[in-house]
Amino acid sequence: MNLDDLARRVHATARLTGRFELRSGRVTDDYFDKYQFEADPVLLDALAGELAALVPADTEVLAGLEMGGIAVVTALGRHTGLPCAFVRKAAKPYGTARLAEGADVAGRRVLVVEDVVTSGGQVAVSTRRLRELGARIDAALCVIDRQEGGAEALAAEEIGLRALLRRADLERAAGGAGS
């Protein structure tokens, strides 16, 4: 399956229309329901196979963000052989009380992995927290960049965004559908 085929499948599987409020508080009339492509093991595996080529060569740990980034990072880890960390929005107050579970991030080159990036807000927040734990981060990877300012906001935080698919790719693959 080539990238255009993947874009068509993601668009057909995950694009919803209606009225949706995003994490950033913005309201949109189209939405990419990432859980639809993450719940399809064949599609998720194909996406992870393509994402693997975008992982920087010096990456030591893949860090998936709660909740959608967890499925993506697990599938990506299968393709790269890299260990994974699972990053919570906030450290849990019980058990290990960790922000990041799984692979240790301290002193290691970490790639933050997210499913969909809109404003880049959660990637920026999580990256700051991981850096406080000693992670060395200069890049993030996502399946879909909605092209709504996330890459620019992350660049201001010294995080380069690598995206497998951009909103324009999905619209082009679907024959221009979408807003």
Which domains, ranges and CATH numbers included, belong to the chain? 3-173 (3.40.50.2020)
Cα(136)–Cα(146) distance, integer angstroms: 26
| Beta-bridge partners for 126 | none
Q: Is the pLDDT of residue 144 over 90?
A: yes
pLDDT in tens, 32-75: 899 999 999 999 999 999 999 999 999 999 999 999 899 999 99
User: CB–CB of 142/68 below 8 Å?
Assistant: no
Beta strand pairing status for 139-145 and 84-87?
unpaired
Residue 40 has a pLDDT of 96
Give the Cα-Cα-Cα angle 93, 97, 101 (nearest 5 degrees). Answer: 130
pLDDT-derived band at 176, boundaries 50, 70, 90: low
Q: Which residues are annotated binding-site positions?
A: 23, 88-89, 92, 114-122, 146
Residue 178 has a pLDDT of 44
Q: What is the mean pLDDT of residues 8-29?
A: 90
Is the full-model pTM beyond 0.85? yes
Residue 177 has a pLDDT of 47
Amino acid at 72: V
Q: Which residues are annotated binding-site positions for orotate?
A: 118, 146
Amino acid at 114: E
User: CB–CB of 118/150 below 8 Å?
Assistant: yes
Amino acid at 87: V
Q: Which residues are annotated binding-site positions for 5-phospho-alpha-D-ribose 1-diphosphate?
A: 23, 88-89, 92, 114-122
